[in-house]
Amino acid sequence: MDVSRRHFLRFSLGTGGGMALAGLAGSGVNLGPLVAQAQDLRIKNAKVTPSICPYCSVGCATLIHTVDGQIVNIEGDPRSPHNEGTLCPKGAAIFQLHVNPNRPTQVLHRAPGATEWEVWDLERAMNRVAELVKKTRDETFIEKLPNGKLANMTPAIFALGGATLEIEFNHIHQKLMRGLGVVAIENQARI
């Protein structure tokens, strides 16, 4: 029988988990202290540091739990007036921004028409990016508009910053892009 994820969850919750919880709750057992204890054990002895989710301009407040300098948990800060301890699904996964064995650690390049990725060293990749930016800019640079107005821009390059880039990086990035004549500049954090 083909069981979809939705059916599986509904079935699981509707039978085992749901019945167990409903049974306990129905018998008058107060699960509140148990849940609170499990929460306490998870972050027992952890140092708590307030922070902010970096993923969008809402800027939800978070609490980062660390043990021996290692992040063990990140959750919403209940003291925050606008997220009140909650985080959206993306923000709830911030832990993986720091601890993620699946993060690529090498530059991968796939040439036009190729079917396989090739590992490049960073120096080679940076040189190739610089080469292509210069070529594109040189080929598309508009010094003056048809009406004679000075433009000094290229419409062929678009810059998109990631939400986790910090202010200092964005400041330098803006300077570089505007210096090149790029006018289409956006950052995911603002979207």
Contact footprint for ligand SF4 (CB under 6 A): 53, 55-56, 58-60, 83, 87-88, 90-91
Nearest-approach distance from CB 83 to ligand SF4, in angstroms: 6
H or E element, residue 142: strand 142-144
* CB closer to ligand SF4, 58 vs 160: 58
* CB closer to ligand SF4, 89 vs 179: 89
* CB closer to ligand SF4, 7 vs 98: 98
Nearest-approach distance from CB 43 to ligand SF4, in angstroms: 19
Position of minimal CB gap to ligand SF4: 91
Nearest-approach distance from CB 189 to ligand SF4, in angstroms: 9
Q: How deeply is 178 buried, as exposed, middle or buried, from its count of CB atoms within 10 A (0-12, 13-18, 19+)?
A: middle
Nearest-approach distance from CB 185 to ligand SF4, in angstroms: 21
The b/e string for 73-112 (b: 16+ C-beta within 10 A; e otherwise) is: ebbbbeebeebeeebeeebbebbeeeeeeeeeeebeeeee
Nearest-approach distance from CB 191 to ligand SF4, in angstroms: 11
Q: How deeply is 133 buried, as exposed, middle or buried, from its count of CB atoms within 10 A (0-12, 13-18, 19+)?
A: middle
* CB closer to ligand SF4, 59 vs 161: 59
Please report, for residues 1, 14, 125, 137, the alpha-carbon distance to residue 134 in angstroms, rounded to integers and kept in the order given. 57, 60, 14, 5
* CB closer to ligand SF4, 56 vs 72: 56
Contacts 24+ apart (CB under 8 A), 134-140: 137/180, 137/181
